[in-house]
Amino acid sequence: MNSDSFLRKGNHKICEDYAVAGDGYAIVSDGCSSSAYTDIGSRVICMVAQEVISCVIKETHDDDSLLFDTYTPIEYDFLRSYIMEKSAKCVKEMGLPLSCLDATLLIVFALGDWVYIYTYGDGYISVTCNNKIRRYYKFEFNKNAPYYPGYCLNEGREKTYREDVGGYDGIIGSAYRCIDSSFSGLKIGRGDWLKTKSMHPDDEHILRMGKEVISNVVLMSDGVSSFRFGTRPVPDLEVLRNFTDFKMMQGEFVYRRLNATMKQLTKAGFSHYDDLGIAGLDVR
């Protein structure tokens, strides 16, 4: 098993994405550009999540509540609250506002015979199976306003988000799976990926896959959708295919692939305005 990560700044003064990878896991966080100090917040979230997931994998934690039902090793809402509360303590000690934790969180880890993916907010996921079939998943939100996991820290902000973005029907965004050459709608829940596109705040965005059928999983921030060729937007599937066409999985496989791809794209006249945070886990 191997993991690796890659970061690249877009047009922001400081890269507000962060990504970490370790023994059996990979994590990405994308800080909100309209909130202050989210470059720090995304790093804190990743480091705290890394500590928590490492404990779950190694089963060395001292909190029995981290182990739950038979479907997942850790409950979706609890993991969010646990990571964000620990992150909040960190940023408070630094004298930073809680809004610096306005950032997404994507997590993949392998445990036992399973690979688990937890998503909090927008971004992209690539899953390559052992039969070479690759599927892409996309999460996007109304008004380009992701449902940040940090909203659980403030009831008022949570309520405001649900009202402003969810509206009367409570739908806050859409989730898609790439089938053939286009994305089709789906819903993420405690089971299969279903063909419906609506997302609600209380959905559990978890995917569980058997380790025996998976080759690798790559998590990517929504910077993937910010590529341009001149003034023409580049289809995100085109970018995704370039990013995930790994030749070798040894060593720094994500950095090696992304570094080479970015050089090629820049030379060819492509550009991107948003930050890129990418992390991958080779399950084999």
The range of the structural domain enclosing residue 31 comes to 2-282
Asked whether the whole model's pTM tops 0.85, one would answer: yes
The residue behind tokens 């902000």 is 157
- For the cut 90, the answer to whether the pLDDT of residue 194 exceeds it is no
> What tokens does 96 get?
């930073």
Determine the 3-state secondary structure of 43 from DSSP: helix
pLDDT of the residue at 31: 97
Which of 105-109, 165-169, 188-192 reaches the highest mean pLDDT? Answer: 105-109
Q: Which residues pair with 117 in a beta bridge?
A: 108, 207
Start-to-end CA distance of the chain, whole Å, equals 5
CA torsion sign, 109 to 118 to 19 to 254?
A: positive
pLDDT of the residue at 229: 95
> What tokens does 143 get?
């008004």
Give the count of domains, the chain.
1
Higher-scoring residue by pLDDT: 272, 112? 272
Residue 49 to residue 171: CA distance in whole angstroms: 27
Looking at residue 165, the DSSP 8-state letter turns out to be I
pLDDT of the residue at 180: 55
pLDDT of the residue at 166: 87
**pLDDT band, very low/low/confident/very high, at 182 (cuts 50, 70, 90):** low
CATH number of the domain enclosing 120:
3.60.40.10
- How many Cβ atoms from other residues are within 10 Å of residue 149's Cβ? 26
pLDDT tens readout for residues 86-107: 999 999 999 999 999 999 999 9
pLDDT of the residue at 74: 83
CA torsion sign, 272 to 274 to 275 to 280?
A: negative
